[in-house]
């Protein structure tokens, strides 16, 4: 599925995807992305809120025009096969199967990765924008940042290169066929009834830390991928054709809730820091000590 945008059949599938609005297969589902940005919006300082509203309003020249923040955060998935193909690799990072830590020099060198997408967005948002072009670029950067911070917290967005972050591991779930990545993107969140806007207050009240760097947050996802996402309830590595049982779902529900809450809190922190005049780019990409 990962490369379907590059074939003729892929283009047909892509148009179907755009028409039907089904969730993308390698991003948190649309509800989770909306929730991340809606919850983050609640945690903004008054100055940051003002800035975010200005960036949202500056989006008149982008596809979709001016959108609410939750809707704006879905946009990167809608354009990654089309007008913004060069951002495709910014939605994830793949690591070697035996890696226990992300190494940007190793994992983000041959192809771009999510760290590049975040760094570029932060850099645009932290800089001065003079002129319409720069203002539009900031409007896009806000959409990308909101989306990427969400993606970064889905454990399988920091997954094995060999199985494309679980996309290639076909699993059975509630009587249907899906894959491990999709299970985490939207199958389990949907089954948990995590929805926008109903779940916003619930998630906003969860106390999670906003500490750490982008790399530290990536490593958290990798740890969770290794300890939970790739592991069945009996402790074995999940393989293609396996059936995901109710115990696996119950075990991982709290992780999904926590990761969405963390993504929102950390996104708000980054935006608040930009509004305060801090320049978080280097700070947040520095590997954790």
Neighbours of 161 (CB within 10 A): 14
Coil/strand/helix, residue 199: coil
Element spanning 185, H or E:
none
Among 34, 91, 259, 266, binds Zn ion (CB under 5 A): 91
Asked if residue 151 binds Zn ion (CB under 5 A), the reply is: yes
What the block records as the tokens of 221 is 């996802």
Asked if residue 31 binds Zn ion (CB under 5 A), the reply is: no
Nearer to Zn ion, 4 or 135 (CB): 4
Q: How far is the CB of 182 from Zn ion (least distance, A)?
A: 13
Q: Write each residue from 106 to 145 as x if it is in contact with Zn ion (CB under 5 A), else as -, in one continuous string.
A: ----------------------------------------
Nearer to Zn ion, 238 or 263 (CB): 263
Span interacting with Zn ion, options 52-60, 75-83, 220-228, 232-240, rule CB under 5 A:
75-83
Strand partners, 159: 94
* CA–CA dist 171, 32 (Å, integer): 21
Element spanning 160, H or E:
strand 158-160
Neighbours of 226 (CB within 10 A): 18
Question: Residue with structure tokens 């760097």?
Answer: 213
Q: How far is the CB of 250 from Zn ion (least distance, A)?
A: 26
For residue 101, give the DSSP letter: S
Q: Judged by CB under 5 A, how many residues of this single chain contact Zn ion?
A: 4
Tell me which residue of 103, 77, 102, 72 sits closest to 88, measured CA to CA.
77
Q: How far is the CB of 154 from Zn ion (least distance, A)?
A: 8
Neighbours of 159 (CB within 10 A): 29
Q: How far is the CB of 263 from Zn ion (least distance, A)?
A: 12
Asked if residue 27 binds Zn ion (CB under 5 A), the reply is: yes
Nearer to Zn ion, 151 or 273 (CB): 151
Span interacting with Zn ion, options 12-20, 90-98, 126-134, 238-246, rule CB under 5 A:
90-98
Span interacting with Zn ion, options 22-30, 186-194, 217-225, 245-253, rule CB under 5 A:
22-30
Which backbone phi and psi does 68 adopt, to 5 degrees?
-70, 160
Q: How far is the CB of 91 from Zn ion (least distance, A)?
A: 4
Q: How far is the CB of 271 from Zn ion (least distance, A)?
A: 19
Span interacting with Zn ion, options 6-14, 76-84, 194-202, 227-235, rule CB under 5 A:
76-84
* Contacts (Cβ under 8 Å, ≥6 apart) of 282: none
Which residue of the chain is nearest Zn ion when measured via CB?
27
Nearer to Zn ion, 51 or 150 (CB): 150
Segments of 47-118 assigned E as strands: 93-95
Are 101 and 122 in contact, with CB atoms under 8 Å apart?
no
Q: Which residues bind Zn ion (CB under 5 A)?
A: 27, 77, 91, 151
């Amino acid at each position: 599925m990962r490369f379907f945008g590059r074939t003729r059949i892929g283009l047909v599938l892509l148009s179907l995807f755009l028409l039907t609005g089904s969730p993308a297969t390698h991003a948190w589902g649309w509800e989770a992305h909306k929730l991340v940005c809606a919850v983050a919006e609640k945690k903004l300082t008054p100055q940051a809120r003002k800035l975010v509203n200005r960036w949202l309003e500056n989006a008149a020249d982008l596809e979709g025009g001016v959108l609410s923040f939750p809707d704006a955060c879905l946009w990167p998935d809608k354009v990654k096969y089309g007008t913004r193909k060069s951002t495709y690799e910014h939605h994830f990072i793949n690591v070697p199967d035996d890696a226990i830590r992300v190494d940007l020099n190793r994992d983000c060198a041959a192809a771009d990765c999510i760290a590049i997408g975040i760094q570029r967005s932060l850099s645009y948002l932290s800089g001065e924008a003079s002129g319409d072009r720069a203002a539009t670029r900031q409007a896009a950067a806000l959409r990308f940042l909101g989306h990427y911070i969400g993606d970064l917290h889905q454990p399988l967005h920091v997954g094995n290169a060999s199985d494309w972050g679980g996309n290639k591991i076909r699993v059975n779930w509630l009587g249907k066929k899906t894959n491990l990545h999709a299970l985490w993107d939207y199958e389990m969140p949907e089954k948990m009834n995590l929805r926008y806007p109903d779940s916003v207050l619930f998630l906003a009240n969860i106390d999670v830390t906003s500490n750490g760097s982008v790399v530290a947050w990536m490593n958290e996802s990798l740890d969770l991928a290794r300890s939970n996402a790739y592991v069945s309830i009996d402790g074995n590595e999940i393989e293609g054709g396996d059936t995901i049982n109710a115990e696996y779902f119950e075990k991982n529900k709290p992780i999904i809730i926590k990761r969405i809450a963390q993504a929102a809190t950390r996104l708000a922190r980054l935006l608040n820091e930009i509004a305060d005049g801090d320049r978080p780019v280097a700070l947040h990409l520095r590997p954790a000590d």
